[in-house]
Structure 1
Amino acid sequence: MIQYPPALSPVLARVQDCLARRDVNGAEQAIASLARFGLSGHCDVLGAMGAIRLHQGRLAEAAALLAQSRELAPDNPALALNLGRALAGLGRTAEAEAAIREALQLQHGWAEALFELGQLLHHSGRLTEAEAQFRAVLRKMPGLVHARLALGAVMTDQGRPADAQTVLSRALEETSDPGLKVQINLQLAAALLRLRKDADALAAADNARALEPGSPRAALRRGEALQNLGQHGEALAIYRDLLVRAPDDPGLHHDYNALLYRLGRDEEFLGSYDRAPASRPLLLGKAHFLSLAGRHLEAHDIYATLLTRDAGDVVAALGAARALAQMKRPAEAGAALDILLKRPDIPTGAFAQAGEAALLAGAPQKAVRLCEEGLARAPRNGDCLAILSTAWRMLEDERGETLCGYDTLVRAFDLEPPEGFAGMDDFNAELNAALVRLHPETREFLGQSLRGGTQTPGNLFGAGMELVEKLKARIDGAVTRYIAELGEDAAHPFLSRRAAGFHYAGSWSSRLKDCGFHVNHIHPMGWISSCYYVAVPPVVADDNGARQGWIKFGEPHLDVALKNPVRRAIRPAPGRLVLFPSYLWHGTIPFHDAAARTTIAFDVVPSA
């Protein structure tokens, strides 16, 4: 029987103590003292080394050491938990979840493992399961503020910012730890921003900044709140300061230049990229903005530069092909995409992009083939479905009508007044006044479908607006009826997703002004999309054949030869809700009227 020296236990205890104090160097020095005893293969030493590597962020080494240790001690829950943490950091989510669940089997109800499982589920987007884990932790340890913070973060992401505010406010009361207070205040600010309590959000961010002066996270929260409050100069100053400290941060450049564009500061727009290191992420960021702004030649030049650095850069190659298509060079774009599609790592969206280039080149048959290849990979890909529908219409193939269902799947519902209101006119007048206060006093975000108007940031549903929630109750009923009355067809990409349960994947308000409109677009991440009309200009009601301000379906954003491109149009009216498949091309016919056109839109996806 092997006898291990008595020095092992106190050394391992010292390692644990050092790691608890985040003294990684001390832990490594302690474990190094065992070298002369030849204990490198002992399961506890392997586990301790794995824990040290985990704290150092050397995740691959940590996972290897912890896996080796687990083979020697499979009943040790701490080893299983640490292995799960390392695997999670490596993005090996399924393996990480299995390891953490094994830890819970070995030590049932272990709060630390429940917390880690909740974090993993949250990061995986499994929000309901994550909430259950954090609630389980709080039942066992009601005073664990970290769990209350994590629960508040999940609730915010679930679209329940009011509940998150309650949970996070309690968490603030339960801790005196300055570092934890910073995290809670920042998460509270995020929830308050969702509720559009912008002044309160700014105060929470200021509290975080007071506890951690110079905190970039607090500065970003302040910048978002200041934008909502219309204090754009202060928001710009924050971004400039952050860019001095982190000139290579792509997210900062994006947010700064997005605000410059909305403010019409065209002479400053994109200048920050030119003052920064010419790194790949920053060049891609600038090229993306240039593409959205219609400056396709400049975007192509950047993508070409990146391809001289790395000819295998898929993102740059796809960007270059997109720019070529936009510059009316679809044959060149198609040739480049034909080569790219042979790569095993090509994203499904590239098939839709290649199909679009084929349509622009006058080759709808090729577009059909490409989109069908993409749909074989991802049967619900909205981009492929939209391009396929256009190709079939160009070929006068009746499958285009079956796919889109312009006469059956596009439906209008005139909603009943919510409780407490005698008529929709009174309700919509109050709702319109409330929504106007949420709309920014800038031009649209670059990349949005509207032109000559504004769109509210964040999600409207669940943001704590009483009138919106009253309307949502009526919308719930209409969506439920729409789904219930859909036909059943397992082979149809829209009807095959029919399910009784659903949830909202996004919700917002749009406000178009005189001459405003929405360009033709789709919603690739949705199943059912929508438009509810809160207020419409008088000219929209005029039945003079111009159909100003009407919503139109079937006309793609591509310059292709279609007979009667607008397949259907519906006249807006206050209180009217239009529902349709998310992959249908839709847009708005421009209108000329001093009055604004205010709508609420949302996307629906089936519940799992």
Structure 2
Amino acid sequence: MKLCWHDDDFEFIVMVGYADPNALFARAEQAYGRGDLKRARVELDNLLRLIPAHPAVLHLAALVAKREGRTSDALKAFRRALALAPDDAQIRGNFANLLGDIQRFDEALGEYEAALQIRPQFLQAHINRAILLNQLNRHEEAKLSLAVIEQLGSSSAAYWSARGANAQDRQDFVDAENAFGRAAAIDGRTSRSVLGLARAQLERGRPEAVETYQEALLKSPDDALATLGLANALTASGDFSSAKMTLLDRLSRHNDWFDGRTALAELLWEDGQSEAFDAPFREAIAESPDNAMLHHGLINLLIGLDRHDEAAEAAERAFSAFPDIKAFQLAEAVSAGASGDCARADRLFTVLELDTPDRWVHEARHRLRRNDFAKAGDMLQQILQTNPDDIGAWSLLDLVWRMTGDDRHIWLHGQPGLIATSSIEISDEDLAAAKEFLRTLHRTRAHPVGQSVRGGTQTRGVLFAHHDPRIKPLANSIRAAVDEHWAGLPDRDERHPLLKYRSQPWRFRGSWSVRFIDRGFHTSHVHPHGLLSSACYIVAPDAEDGAGPALEIGRPPADLDLALEPLKTVPAEPRTLTLFPSTLFHGTRPVSAGERMTVAFDIISSATS
């Protein structure tokens, strides 16, 4: 005896006496929902023998295969399901999720768009498409796609969480704080929304970030990001002792927590513990010498503090222990060269078997140090053919061109309008308020690890997003000056690392303040993630005979020992803002007396990450 089973589009004939297809499907769905994938697969296998061509069954089979990691099976099942039901938006949306997971991004976006053509009010597809755009660093597209569905997503925590994540990636922490606050109000303050809110509060300098991170840890007691965030919030509040204990507590349970160990070492340094700052790594290496990441951490820490002799020795020991990790040999070569032991660096680069852009940039820098400009130039040109946005390579190539009298240096940095100095328009009252506010932020005892500051302090968080209203007039006056400079840049040039973006909108990428009292300076450096870099003097000591503190643009790093003077020297005067391509090395003359305080930031295209 046979039984006909119908749905809207299909008719199936099954033999009475076999299991009920509806019951099999229900059991498979329930098993999938509770995470019992093995049971779900058994039920689906039985069902597919009865009904081999039903889109709902194939869809569920695809989802099970995806979660089990059987990507090929999942792709086949999705395609079979869509062949039977091409207008099913849910299937297309889930197929897009899989394609995104396996990095077939263009296909994924196409499937999301197809799903939204079928069902324009499909909120989750809108959200997932925006999340993928964000992952692809297409932040402005993601922002716009979320903005147009605000009414549709206004009551969805997932929508506001996606919007908050997008705002964080754009460093718009005002929008991020609002979005994650909305998400938390809707979802009952889940760990995800609370953690996003805490991060936004931290970047905005809100003291309540400490309590919000503590709330996140109550919901997820062992969460690494929440623990690290709480330590950062405590440090920002000046409570170094509690920050240290927070990190030590989790490290006692997770000895392999690399980010926490790095944060602890940096915290000890910034708290003035210059004799013990590296203990978190040295002690851990003594206990676990076979952990290569610990060696990486120690080497990077030492390099970040210009302790190149120590870094070279640490890298040599690491390479002896891990001869297959050529990055340790590269670190030894880099540190040896920076410490002045050029012969040792020569030997190491000669035998180094590593073909990566990082290796060639570092070796090109060493060739500059050895006045081998032809070889350095060849290496850098090769890197730029592969990655034309490599700021570090451009900055070194500029030095090659200047040392060899190559006119391309003028094209890169000498065109009128690329470097500009102006006086920002801000009232005396607003400037005084900004000074008062900025001084309250400088709480550490030492300069941060891995930055160019020597003998001074640098603020945390995103300065222009700070909740204190005293920063707003300063930020607005700087924004107006950048608008004017961006509009006055030379014509668009597709080959130029800055000018190829000049027709696009710009945005800030990071903003911070640096303060020196009676001593200190910036080493010559570049900002590898910017298009334009900056320095705006807020407080400056009186100069004597033109020898006071000043910004030097274009002076090479001291360890390269190149006979090049700065392209431009800007005396330290309050209100003075200097903007210049991020491909230019820059540093400052030392402060010998008085206070020097600046605000700085990078500029990037809104369309880029």
Please classify the TM superposition score into its range, dividing by the shorter chain length.
0.7 to 0.9
Residue in 2 aligned with 1:144? 156
Indicate whether 1:16 and 2:29 are aligned.
yes
Q: Which runs of 5+ in 1 are unaligned?
A: none
| Within-5 A mapping of 1:254-293 | 254-273=262-281, 274-275=283-284, 277=288, 278-293=290-305
Q: Distance in 2 between matches of 1:489 and 1:89?
A: 36
1:310/1:30 Cα in 2 relative to 1: closer, same or farther (>3 Å)? farther
Q: Distance in 2 between matches of 1:337 and 1:45?
A: 59
Q: Distance in 2 between matches of 1:280 and 1:507?
A: 34
Q: Distance in 2 between matches of 1:399 and 1:184?
A: 50
Question: What's the offset of the Cα at 1:241?
Answer: 1.3
1:526/1:338 Cα in 2 relative to 1: closer, same or farther (>3 Å)? farther
Residue in 2 aligned with 1:83? 95
Question: What's the offset of the Cα at 1:218?
Answer: 3.3
Classify the secondary structure of the residue corresponding to 1:437: helix
Residue in 1 aligned with 2:459? 456
| Within-5 A mapping of 1:271-420 | 271-273=279-281, 274-275=283-284, 277=288, 278-300=290-312, 303-304=315-316, 313=325, 315-330=327-342, 333=345, 337=349, 343=355, 346-347=356-357, 349-405=358-414, 409-417=418-426
Q: Which runs of 5+ in 2 are unaligned?
A: 1-10
Q: What TM-score, normalized to structure 1?
A: 0.87
Indicate which of 531, 537, 548 corresponds to 1:533: 537
Listed one character per residue, the Cα deviations across residues 282-325 of structure 1 (whole Å, up to 9, x for unaligned) are 32222211222344455445545665677664544532332332
Classify the secondary structure of the residue corresponding to 2:514: strand
Partners of 1:554 and 1:586 within 8 A in 2: yes
Q: Which amino acid aligns with 2:197?
A: L
Partners of 1:185 and 1:207 within 8 A in 2: yes
Q: Distance in 1 between matches of 2:110 and 2:314?
A: 44
Indicate whether 1:504 and 2:521 are aligned.
no
Q: Distance in 2 between matches of 1:114 and 1:108?
A: 9
Residue in 2 aligned with 1:517? 521
Question: What's the offset of the Cα at 1:334?
Answer: 5.4
With 349-358 and 239-248 compared, the bigger mean Cα shift is at 349-358
Q: Which amino acid aligns with 2:255?
A: P
Question: What's the offset of the Cα at 1:369?
Answer: 1.7
Partners of 1:51 and 1:62 within 8 A in 2: no
Partners of 2:456 and 2:519 within 8 A in 1: no
Classify the secondary structure of the residue corresponding to 1:506: strand
Partners of 1:62 and 1:83 within 8 A in 2: no
Q: Distance in 2 between matches of 1:478 and 1:251?
A: 38
Residue in 2 aligned with 1:239? 247
Partners of 1:59 and 1:87 within 8 A in 2: no
1:403/1:223 Cα in 2 relative to 1: closer, same or farther (>3 Å)? same
Indicate whether 1:550 and 2:539 are aligned.
no
Question: What's the offset of the Cα at 1:227?
Answer: 0.8
Partners of 1:507 and 1:600 within 8 A in 2: yes
1:124/1:117 Cα in 2 relative to 1: closer, same or farther (>3 Å)? same
| Within-5 A mapping of 1:192-231 | 192-198=201-207, 200-231=208-239
Residue in 1 aligned with 2:176? 164
Partners of 1:223 and 1:239 within 8 A in 2: yes
Indicate which of 80, 94, 98 corresponds to 2:106: 94
Q: Distance in 1 between matches of 2:416 and 2:47?
A: 77
1:352/1:210 Cα in 2 relative to 1: closer, same or farther (>3 Å)? closer
With 473-482 and 93-102 compared, the bigger mean Cα shift is at 93-102
* Identity percentage of aligned residues: 26
Residue in 1 aligned with 2:123? 111
Residue in 1 aligned with 2:580? 580
Partners of 1:304 and 1:320 within 8 A in 2: yes
1:391/1:100 Cα in 2 relative to 1: closer, same or farther (>3 Å)? same
With 99-108 and 449-458 compared, the bigger mean Cα shift is at 99-108
With 330-339 and 571-580 compared, the bigger mean Cα shift is at 330-339
1:247/1:38 Cα in 2 relative to 1: closer, same or farther (>3 Å)? farther
Q: Distance in 2 between matches of 1:489 and 1:159?
A: 26
Classify the secondary structure of the residue corresponding to 2:536: strand
1:11/1:115 Cα in 2 relative to 1: closer, same or farther (>3 Å)? farther
Residue in 2 aligned with 1:605? 604
Classify the secondary structure of the residue corresponding to 1:362: coil
Residue in 1 aligned with 2:4? none
1:397/1:128 Cα in 2 relative to 1: closer, same or farther (>3 Å)? closer
Question: What's the offset of the Cα at 1:407?
Answer: 7.5
Q: Distance in 2 between matches of 1:467 and 1:551?
A: 26
How many residue pairs get matched? 588
1:498/1:380 Cα in 2 relative to 1: closer, same or farther (>3 Å)? same
Partners of 2:513 and 2:600 within 8 A in 1: yes
1:389/1:534 Cα in 2 relative to 1: closer, same or farther (>3 Å)? same
Q: Distance in 1 between matches of 2:596 and 2:324?
A: 47
Listed one character per residue, the Cα deviations across residues 314-344 of structure 1 (whole Å, up to 9, x for unaligned) are 544532332332243446645655776984x
1:27/1:134 Cα in 2 relative to 1: closer, same or farther (>3 Å)? farther
Classify the secondary structure of the residue corresponding to 1:143: coil
Residue in 1 aligned with 2:589? 589
Question: What's the offset of the Cα at 1:172?
Answer: 3.0
1:337/1:95 Cα in 2 relative to 1: closer, same or farther (>3 Å)? farther
With 62-71 and 574-583 compared, the bigger mean Cα shift is at 62-71
Q: Distance in 2 between matches of 1:492 and 1:576?
A: 27
Listed one character per residue, the Cα deviations across residues 403-438 of structure 1 (whole Å, up to 9, x for unaligned) are 322976322101222xxx4xx3x3322111111112
Residue in 2 aligned with 1:434? 437
With 59-68 and 428-437 compared, the bigger mean Cα shift is at 59-68
Partners of 1:360 and 1:558 within 8 A in 2: no
With 436-445 and 559-568 compared, the bigger mean Cα shift is at 559-568
